Amino acid sequence: MSVKDRMSGNEAVAYAIKQVNPDVMPAFPITPSTEIPQLVSNYIANNEMDTEFIPVESEHSSMSATIGAEAAGARSLTATSSCGLALMWEELLLAASNRMPCVLTLVNRTLSGPININCDHSDAMGARDTGWIQIFAESNQEAYDNFIQAYPIAEDKRVHLPVMICQDGFITSHAVQNIVLNEDEEVQDFVGEYHPEEFLLNDGNPIAIGPYSISSYAMEARKAQEMAMENSKEVIIEVARRYKEKFGRGFELFEEYKTEDADYIMVIMGSAAGTAKQAVDDLREKGMKVGVLKLRVFRPFPAEELAEALKNAKGIAIMERTESYNGHGGPLCSELRAALYEHKVYTEAVCYTYGLAGRDFTVEHVYDIFNEVNDIVVNGKEYKQHRYINLRTKEV
């Protein structure tokens, strides 16, 4: 039986953590994720869960402790944002390469500089090649649902990789929305108990974790890790379908919104997908065939599936909420355009950068983008491939 409530995204994730009741949570506060460990520590103090909470001296230490606990056989997690994730950089790579199925709840916030505490995806995108599975949420509900699915994905024998559950700082993390919560017992039944096959405290079967690897073995380890990432795509889909059967909600690798007959499709991640959907509804009423593809899973990148979903579109707007400083767009743009080319989908794909450091992104901006893509396709309008939306100064 589900329970209706109103919660911020941080509250929703903390509540999901309470329901899952993992063994260990080391954490260090940083805006805008601070509320998550704060609320979890309150649940522990009130005897509503029995997770071991470890206050540490930095984000680097929080991930180090998470890896140590996971290696010892405990189901573990931590939370962070922005520069906290950057400080974990070394440990992110170790968690993935040592095949630790831990979870990180990331509240997306721009990386400095200049110093800013608002949302973009520069933190998560900076960690995109560390070997973590990355799942993004549009709403508070999805942040809650995604967290509950994280451990069944991470701990699957075909995967055994860490999972990063992402939501947009302040936009979902602090805004209060209506939400449907699952019953505690149903969540625990869905997630199940953790019984690792190999762990450090198993004195009957001693193992080494993180040993030095000579050249004769390191490359094979990397390949095994890559194969696990490829396997995770199937597992993510299986878990999402099982979650939807049990709780009635959920998406798989991405959500397609009114794309079946769409001439123009916007590809976007995170909370701004809701803005794009509203604009699509408005433009549909005016007779314009447009749609939104909301990418839920960025790692593993679903190249083949995206190409198939977009193959009939006349034009595609790729929305980037970070900057790669390469002169022609960010990671979503680069990887999606490569996927389209590889799978022989030859359509106009235009990259736009929006919402950096919390800059407003409105339905009017979406109208303008769809109209411009239409102008490019129909009238052959010349365009700049890497253009900023809602920039205060004129681009040259």
Q: Which domains does the chain have, with CATH numbers?
A: 3-247 (3.40.50.970), 254-388 (3.40.50.920)
Question: How high is the pLDDT of residue 395?
Answer: 64
Confidence of residue 248 (pLDDT cuts 50, 70, 90): very high
pLDDT digits (tens, 9 = 90+) for 289-302: 999 999 999 999 99
Question: Distance between CA atoms of 277 and 255, rounded to whole angstroms?
Answer: 11
Q: Beta strand pairing status for 264-268 and 176-181?
A: unpaired
Enter the tokens of residue 155.
Answer: 């701990």
pLDDT digits (tens, 9 = 90+) for 52-93: 999 999 999 999 999 999 999 999 999 999 999 999 999 999
Local structure of 380: helix, strand or coil = coil
Q: Note whether 229 and 133 are within 8 A (CB).
A: yes
**Beta-ladder partners of 292:** 257, 266
Distance set, CA 68 to CA 2, 103, 182, 339 (Å) = 35, 13, 30, 37
Enter the tokens of residue 60.
Answer: 């680097």
Q: Beta strand pairing status for 386-388 and 348-353?
A: parallel
Q: Would you call the peptide bond into 302 cis, given omega within 30 degrees of 0 as the criterion?
A: no
pLDDT digits (tens, 9 = 90+) for 127-156: 999 999 999 999 999 999 999 999 999 999
Backbone angles phi, psi at 288, to 5 degrees: -90, 125
Question: How high is the pLDDT of residue 189?
Answer: 98
Q: Is the pTM of this model over 0.85?
A: yes
Question: Distance between CA atoms of 187 and 251, rounded to whole angstroms?
Answer: 17
Which region holds residue 131: left if phi is over 0, alpha if psi is between -120 and 50, else beta?
Answer: left
Task: Say whether pLDDT at 360 is over 90.
Answer: yes
